Amino acid sequence: MNLIERAKETAVWLQQKLGEGIETAIILGSGLGDLADDIRDAVRIPYKDIPYFPVSTAIGHKGNLVCGMLGNKKVLAMQGRFHYYEGYMMQEVTFPIRVFSFYGIKHLIVSNAAGGMNPDYHVGDLMIIKDHINLMPNPLIGQNMEELGPRFPDMTRAYDPEMIKMAEEVARELEIKIHKGVYVGSTGPTFETPAEYKYFSAIGGDVCGMSTVPEVITARHAGIRIFGMSVVSNEAYTFGEDYKNDGEDVLIEGKKAAVKMTAIVKGLINRL
Ligand code: HPA
């Protein structure tokens, strides 16, 4: 069975299980899975029970699809995602997006924990992703399936300007400080060397991470509108004697910032 057939079958399976008419999906990044606890009347489906879904292995990623009410809308939330560094092929990393597309999702909200390279950014800060730089293999490499989207997708406004504006309004109303910047996506799993952080910053990045970009590219290909947010989990610009990176810290800072992120996501969803 090819990718389209598999994704369609999974979408139909989900429609039978959860009903139709859900238009918003959310991907929760490292340490940010707690947002799903705010989903009311939740139906939780482990990835291992979903046809053709990969199973997530990354630490801090739970591996459930959670469906229910968030704010005033019914949503589908991925508690845990698939990373390229785990050894999945890009088609597997982005398979859920293909499923969402066939399911009828119109808006995708993506989140991640990221290293802050902009010296104005501090641990626990939030950043609206206004653009990205892709340093991973492009998930659309290979024969293009016209049914899924165009051969050469436009990436000029990959992050939906209207959704950005709405989220900024929400942040202002809630008096939550929020940055807006560029996410650099690289494969990992190593954290960057100081020279690499400086390089990512020099080419225009404000934060960097090991996820999000493949899903965003695939969602753009499918014509889904995207909003992205990063939580700054480490300050990658001083490199003093005691500077070091640690995967556990990423999760801890994600958890702390999840409350602010949840408030903004809810506010945004209410306005969609
Ligand atoms: N680099 C890459 N990915 C990350 C980082 C980082 O510094 N922090 C959290 N995810």
Q: What is the DSSP string of the chain?
A: --HHHHHHHHHHHHHHHH-S---EEEEE-TT-GGGGGG-EEEEEEEGGGSTT-----STT---EEEEEEETTEEEEEEES---GGGT--HHHHTHHHHHHHHHT--EEEEEEEEEE-STT--TT-EEEEEEEEE-S--TT-SS--TTT--SS---TT-S-HHHHHHHHHHHHHHT--EEEEEEEE---SSPPPHHHHHHHHHTT-SEEESSSHHHHHHHHHTT-EEEEEEEEEEETT---TT----HHHHHHHHHHHHHHHHHHHHHHHHH-
Q: Whose C-alpha lies nearest to ligand 1, atom 10? A: 114
What is the rounded CA–CA span in Å between residue 148 and residue 6? 13
Contact status, residue 56 vs residue 47, Cβ threshold 8 Å: yes
User: What is the per-residue pLDDT for 58?
Assistant: 62
**Pocket of ligand 1, candidates 110, 127, 133, 208: which has the most ligand atoms within 8 Å of its Cβ, to mutate?**
208
Q: How far is the CA of 240 from the centre of ligand 1 (A)?
A: 17
Of 205, 191, 272, 204, the closest CA to residue 239 belongs to 191
**Pocket of ligand 1, candidates 184, 233, 253: which has the most ligand atoms within 8 Å of its Cβ, to mutate?**
233
Residue 149, phi then psi, degrees to nearest 5 = 165, 180
114 lines ligand 1 (CB under 6 A): yes
210 lines ligand 1 (CB under 6 A): yes
Q: How far is the CA of 132 from the centre of ligand 1 (A)?
A: 15
**Length in residues, the chain:** 272
**Could you read off the pLDDT tens digit of each residue along the chain, which spans 272 residues?**
899 999 999 999 999 999 988 999 999 987 787 888 889 999 999 999 999 998 766 665 678 999 999 989 999 999 989 999 999 999 999 999 999 999 999 999 999 999 999 999 999 999 999 999 999 999 999 999 998 999 999 999 999 999 999 999 999 999 999 999 999 999 999 999 999 999 999 999 999 999 999 999 999 999 999 999 999 999 999 888 888 888 787 778 777 788 899 999 999 999 99
118 lines ligand 1 (CB under 6 A): no
Q: How far is the CA of 56 from the centre of ligand 1 (A)?
A: 18
Instruction: Name the pairing type of β-strands 40-46 and 107-116.
Output: unpaired
128 lines ligand 1 (CB under 6 A): no
User: What is the per-residue pLDDT for 258?
Assistant: 84
Question: How many angstroms from the chain centroid is the CA of residue 98?
Answer: 14
What is the rounded CA–CA span in Å between residue 93 and residue 32? 18
Q: And the tokens for 246?
A: 């640690």
User: What is the per-residue pLDDT for 36?
Assistant: 87
CATH number belonging to domain 3-271: 3.40.50.1580
Q: How far is the CA of 20 from the centre of ligand 1 (A)?
A: 36
User: What is the per-residue pLDDT for 75?
Assistant: 96
Which amino acid, one-letter code, is at 125? D
> Which DSSP letter does residue 156 get?
T
User: What is the per-residue pLDDT for 61?
Assistant: 60
Q: Where does 71-177 show beta strands of DSSP type E? A: 73-79, 107-116, 126-134
What is the rounded CA–CA span in Å between residue 61 and residue 66? 13
The per-residue pLDDT for range 141-187, each reduced to its tens digit, is 999 999 899 999 999 999 999 999 999 999 999 999 999 999 999 99
- The residue written with tokens 């009903």 in the block is 19
Q: How far is the CA of 179 from the centre of ligand 1 (A)?
A: 17
Domain boundaries, the chain: 3-271
Residue 245 Cα: closest atom of ligand 1: 7
Q: Which residues sit opposite 5 in a β-bridge?
A: none
User: What is the per-residue pLDDT for 29?
Assistant: 86
Q: How far is the CA of 144 from the centre of ligand 1 (A)?
A: 31
What is the rounded CA–CA span in Å between residue 71 and residue 263? 9
Q: Whose C-alpha lies nearest to ligand 1, atom 6? A: 115
